[in-house]
Chain A
Amino acid sequence: MFHKRLYQFVFIYILGIGFLFLIKKVLNLSDYVIPSPVEIYETGRKVFLRYIPDVLNTLSVAIIGHVLSIFMATIIGIISRLSNWIGSFIKTAAFNIQAYPIVAVAPIIFILLGDGLSSRLLIAAMICYFPLLLSFIGILSEPVVDIEHFYVHSGKMRWQLEVKIRAFENMNKLVTVISGSATLAMVGTIVSEFIGASSGIGYSIRIALYQSDLAKILIALFLIGIFTSLYLAFLEWLGRIVVRKWEHNS
């Protein structure tokens, strides 16, 4: 699964780079606008190893932010199914907060928390938390009538059981949502680094942008793609194991 994800990413990346070279050729653009293959190669030789710790730094923050978001979304998702009012209130709040552009909110976060890990973590979590929360609320509030009515009528229904039934019946959906939000966590971390932090690959991209160095940015994008693909593949693998285990236990 891991190598399949990598092949797929590398294929997409090559297609993208090829498209850029095509534009460069057709419009006869200089290396300043779109770098030449030689320049990309030379830049890659210089910065590839330097960028790997930066990407790992970003990925680690993204993973922590992602895990925190999953944890919080699960709790809030469970609470919000207690009553229609709470559910609707949390949903409205989530929609509203989601609507705020992070680039406008991030400077406030950096002023309050500084440019360290906590700001990056919070922004990463904010970006992936709300979509997760909305999906979790949707899944956990939707009754699985065929199964639940038996427990309801026999008086054995407890909230823990209700959550279990709904989670189990929608496990594939939950795995997809969690995997999907992983990319959001990565994007959130990169955006936060780009705006205000002093480390991570987003910070390196910002410096490269100041220097109008697209070659460096392309190398950074390559590494981001590779590590994000690996993380996604890992989540999918983990999801399959969990689904298999649940099915086996039931």
Chain B
Amino acid sequence: MKNKMRIFILLLTLAIIIMPSGCSKKNKEITKVSYRLKWLFNTSVAGDIYADVNGFFAGEGLDVEVKEGGPERDAIKELEMGHAHFGVASADQVIRAVSKGAPIVVIAQLFQINPLQWIYRSNETKINNVEDLKGKIIGITFGGNDETIMRALLSKYSISEDKLNFFSVRYDYTPFYERRVALWPVYRNAEGVIIGDKLDTAKEPVSFFDPNNYGIHFVANSVITTQNMIKQHPETVKIFITALIKAWNEALNPANSDKTVEAIHKVDKDTPLDIIRRQLDITRQLMKPTDKTVFGSIDVNAWKETERIMIEQKLISAPVNIEKRLRKEF
């Protein structure tokens, strides 16, 4: 009896020691997180800036460091290295990373329509259908997703690449301004507005060629995190994404335009207010194309199409079943 009592007390003591620590490990949430954007602070990250400036994260008890992205930044690598908890990456980056075993998960899709389009002078170049691209000099960034999109488009419409000319695109737009290139890739909601403005001032009307109108649904930027983060800190992930989506919805609400433009201008002082305003209007159309669109919703079919295009162009060697990495509910 004495022995049984001793064993019982011993087990009870062990249970008291182990249980709280076990429970706390499972439920321990973090309040200080880092969020790496894909690009520099501009209108494309309006909601992220809005959330930060207007205390959406702080209101939920989260201390979020919103970090600017850039050409040399890769949020996926930072997530894996533990330098960031959340990030923004393009779909092709995500699919490529998943194909190489990166443990990442998509938790919200920012753009419902890819902002990558081609600008051209509408009084000199007539494009009413894909066939009209034949014989034109088209700017593409070799290795970039504009190359993937353009090749997918040409393949879809069975246009041989020798029917047109590609021009290697860099940071400066001189070849386009000098008319050496007829179509130049731009992000419709960012440089698209700025270059369009410049040419407009020079009395050169512009139009945009949008592959989305011709059935190429190539997903653009999305918010990502790691599988481990979702497993270890599900509540933090839920709070973060809920606050972020709420902020984006407010930022894109036309009634809050002034507030959003002001928030963006605080961190993007080089862009005039009226340009930011027009960029925001276009961003809204790309992120919430209809009133019914739920901001952040993940278009699984578009993701599958993006994966199919990448397989077709041998950018990944085998299917990755990307739909398994799309987390639609929390």
Contacts and interface: CB of A to CB of B under 8 A. Distances in A.
B142 interface: yes
Contact of A212 (B74, B82, B142): B74
A111 interface: yes
B101 A210 contact: no
A31 B170 CA distance: 28
B34 interface: no
Nearest to B93: A212
Interface string A18-32: 000000000101111
B222 to A, nearest CB: 16
Given A32-B96, A211-B143, A198 B168 contact: yes
A30 B170 contact: no
A32 B101 contact: yes
A207 B97 CA distance: 16
Interface residues of A, number: 22
Contacts of A126: none
Given A111-B172, A198-B168, A29 B143 contact: no
Dominant secondary structure of chain B at its interface with chain A:
loop
A211 to B, nearest CB: 5
Interface residues of B, number: 23
Given A210-B141, A211-B315, A212-B93, A30 B174 contact: no
Given A107-B172, A206-B143, A207-B142, A212 B80 contact: no
A65 interface: no
Contacts of A212: 74, 76-77, 93, 96-97
Given A31-B101, A33-B80, A111 B174 contact: yes
Contact of B81 (A29, A198, A210): A29
A198 B141 CA distance: 11
26 contacts: A27-B80, A29-B80, A30-B80, A30-B102, A30-B103, A32-B76, A32-B80, A32-B100, A32-B101, A32-B102, A33-B102, A110-B170, A111-B172, A111-B174, A195-B170, A196-B170, A196-B171, A196-B172, A207-B142, A207-B143, A210-B143, A210-B144, A211-B96, A211-B315, A212-B74, A212-B77
